[in-house]
Structure 1
Amino acid sequence: MTQNTENVQRETVLVTSGTGKTGRRVVERLAARGVVVRAGSRSGEVRFDWADESGWAPALRGADAAYVTYYPDLAAPGAPEAMAAFGRIATENGVRRLVLLSGRGEPQAVAAEESLRRSAAGAELTVVRSAFFAQNFSEGAMLDGVLGGEVVFPAGGTAEPFVDIDDLADVVVAALTEDGHAGAVHELTGPRLLTFDEVVSEIASATGRSVRYLPVSGAEYAQMLEGYGVPGPEAGFLADLFTMLLDGHNATVTEGVKQVLGRDPKDFGAFARAAAQSGAWKG
């Protein structure tokens, strides 16, 4: 046991977005296991910026593994090229294991996955394809909507198997630190399908707040984002992406979390109650 602990402690892992929603959770879990963690960010001690390739090699040099979360989205224009460059630089610097966060049911993201797979052929690659995050409602883009009493999104009545980020982080850490995940694609969802109407009802029940869901078209959503200052091309990309993801083709649940962790994923209702108790929606 002592020897195994020493081996783990010698491992160094770069988390490319170490302050993000998934990245900070992965950083915390790795540190708890005694792994040496480099939490990459644009302004932190370990500089990592997807818009500045010059900083990638210094961040990767000497790392054994990396958790790769691309900004703004793996389906965005330019992502395949960025993955090709990242994979090449990672393998040149001796990185042996990569875990890539991807989107579930995103054809454009698959192209970026393949680009990383080809360029990092000398390393073990695990892809984690995720459903929508439950935490988008408590610490993400839809938090303001919850606090304001109206969640606006182009989802119509489509159901989505929202996944808890804590489950995702546990899967990522397993893939980074344990054997048996090389070449795997882990598709993660929560345990049940929920429409956005049902989601806001769960949040209202947990918080006592009055919250409603307002469905809009993709064009209306893009216009709303532009009103908040999002540049037109980015707003259009996000609206098109969400509209595509919520056209019904992702309305199924998977066993991904249980297959990796040996337990059921957290239900959205349990997430909502825990988030409410933590004060996430006190405003």
Structure 2
Amino acid sequence: MTILITGGTGKTGAPLAQKIHDAGHSVLVASRSGSAPEHLKGVKFDWNDPSTFENPFNADPNIDKIYLICPPVSDRLTPMKPFIDLAVAKSVKRFVLLSATVTPPGGGFTGEVHDYLAGLEGVEYGVLRPSWFSENFKSLWLRGILNDNEIVTATQDGKLPFVAVADIVDAAFNLLTTPEIENPDLLVIGPDLLSYDQAAEILSAALGRKISHRKVTVAEATEIRKGYGLPAEIAGFLGHLDDTVAQGNEEKVVEENNKYVGKVRLADWVEENKAAWQKV
């Protein structure tokens, strides 16, 4: 049987597809371009174009499991429900959804998709809810670190268990390949609970220059991220997430029982990736 990876060329989808292939499983990479690495099979798929929803099943009628990456819109269930229903009709038996610690089942954004999967009969599902990605330091915070030697957030002194993509991929692989899903709601966290002050110290030590954490209000953080080119809705949501960190919500996640604790420490990840923040 075949595992379909939506978002198959993305941050988690690409390494997950490779890991599945390396383990000897059949995998199909779905992306808007339809491209895939030479040794993998790709298919064109776009959440904004329902005419592409049949494409994966035409390319491989043996799909029985699907990794779901949501489209970057606030109403995610509306575009995803028709495809999920089609997949069930095509005999798909398991879905694994990438969500976030801040999105409980039934909540906004991915939480509505989580809730819908939980209500399907005769279908297994697993939802990965990772904390903040370590990789954000190479994307969301990259400009500030390179240009101003600083990270700007509204998290104040709040702590969070930064998690590396490699650990998220391992958790996803387990849910997609294990005979049964024991825990369908899995919080995915890194091994260390750190504030952005501490993250800045780790970056400083690795880069050999002082990196600071500048603490601002939620409104200020939102405006700064809009300046990075993020849509106002996404920038505002990230500001809200900063506030949840400041309130200690991510620290509480560490105390939960339904969690997968990764192996990659932020200090080790930074050391491995420090070339990303080296000034030319």
Q: What TM-score, normalized by structure 2, do the two folds share?
A: 0.84
**2:251 aligned counterpart, secondary structure:** coil
Q: Corresponding residue for 1:110?
A: 111
Quote the residue 2:170 is aligned against.
170
What are the residue-to-residue correspondences of 1:191-206 with 2, within 5 Å? 191-206=191-206
Q: Give 1:123's aligned residue.
A: 123
Distance change >3 Å, CA 19–CA 157, structure 1 → 2: same
- 1:7 corresponds to: none
Aligned equivalent of 1:271: 269
Give unmatched runs, 5+ long, in structure 2. 36-42
The answer for the alignment partner of 2:54 in structure 1 is: 57
1:138-162 deviations in Å (ceiling 9; x for gaps): 3x22222222211112211110011
**Aligned residue in 2 for 1:184:** 184
Looking at structure 2, the residues matched to 200 and 245 of structure 1 have their Cα atoms a distance apart, in angstroms, of 16
Check 1:49–1:265 CA distance in 2 against 1; reply closer, same or farther (3 A cut).
Answer: same
Contact 2:159 2:245 in 1 (8 A): no
Q: Distance in 2 between matches of 1:143 and 1:227?
A: 13
Q: What do residues 158-204 of structure 1 show as CA deviations (whole Å, max 9, x unaligned)?
A: 10011121111011011111112166211111122100110111111
* 1:27 aligns to 2:17 (yes or no): yes
* Aligned residues between the structures: 261
Evaluate the alpha carbon distance shift between residue 178 and residue 31 of structure 1 in structure 2; reply closer, same or farther with a 3 A threshold. same
**Distance of 1:121 and 1:84 partners within structure 2:** 15
Name the residue aligned to 2:278.
282
Aligned partners of 1:60 and 1:217: how far apart in 2? 48
3-state secondary structure, aligned to 2:33: coil
Q: Which residue of 1 aligns with 2:95?
A: 98
- Is 1:47 matched with 2:44? yes
Q: CA deviation at 1:93?
A: 2.0
Rounded to whole Å, the distance in 2 between the matches of 1:247 and 1:60 is 45
Aligned to 2:40: none
Given that 1:124 and 1:183 are in contact with CA atoms closer than 8 Å, whether structure 2 keeps it comes out as no
| Separation of aligned partners in 1, 2:195 and 2:167 | 21
* Counterpart mapping for 1:140-159 below 5 A: 140-148=139-147, 149-159=149-159
**For the structure 1 residues 24 and 91, does the alpha-carbon distance in structure 2 shift closer, same or farther, using more than 3 Å as the test?**
same
1:232 and 1:257 map into 2 onto residues whose CA distance is: 32
| TM value normalised by structure 1 | 0.83
Check conservation: 2:47, 2:80, Cα contact below 8 A: no
The runs of 5 or more residues in structure 1 that have no matched partner are 1-10, 259-263
- CA–CA separation in structure 2 for the residues paired with 1:209 and 1:95: 51
Matched AA of 2:114: E
Contact 1:190 1:266 in 2 (8 A): yes
> CA deviation digits over 1:208-261, x for unaligned, max 9?
232111122221122223333333333323323443354311214257335xxx
Q: 1:257 aligns with which of 256, 260, 273?
A: 260
The one-letter amino acid paired with 1:43 is S
Query: Is the 2:100–2:130 Cα contact (8 Å) retained in structure 1?
Result: yes
What's the C-alpha RMSD, in Å, of the aligned pairs? 2.2
**Per-residue deviation at 1:103?**
0.7
For 1:116, the aligned partner's letter is L
1:18 equivalenced with 2:8 (yes/no): yes
Percentage identity across paired residues of the two chains? 30
Q: What is the alpha-carbon distance in structure 2 between the residues aligned to residue 182 and residue 121 of structure 1?
A: 17
| Equivalent residue number for residue 38 of structure 2 | none
Counterpart residue type for residue 140 of structure 2: A
Greater displacement, 56-65 / 144-153: 56-65
Taking a change above 3 Å as real, the CA distance of residues 230 and 280 of structure 1, as seen in their structure-2 partners, is closer
The residue type paired with residue 257 of structure 1 is Y
Q: What SS does the aligned partner of 1:225 have?
A: helix
Deviation larger for 166-175 or 31-40: 31-40
User: 1:272 is aligned with what amino acid?
Assistant: V
| Residues 52 and 159 of structure 1: CA distance in aligned 2, closer, same or farther (over 3 Å) | same
Partner residue in 1 for 2:221: 221
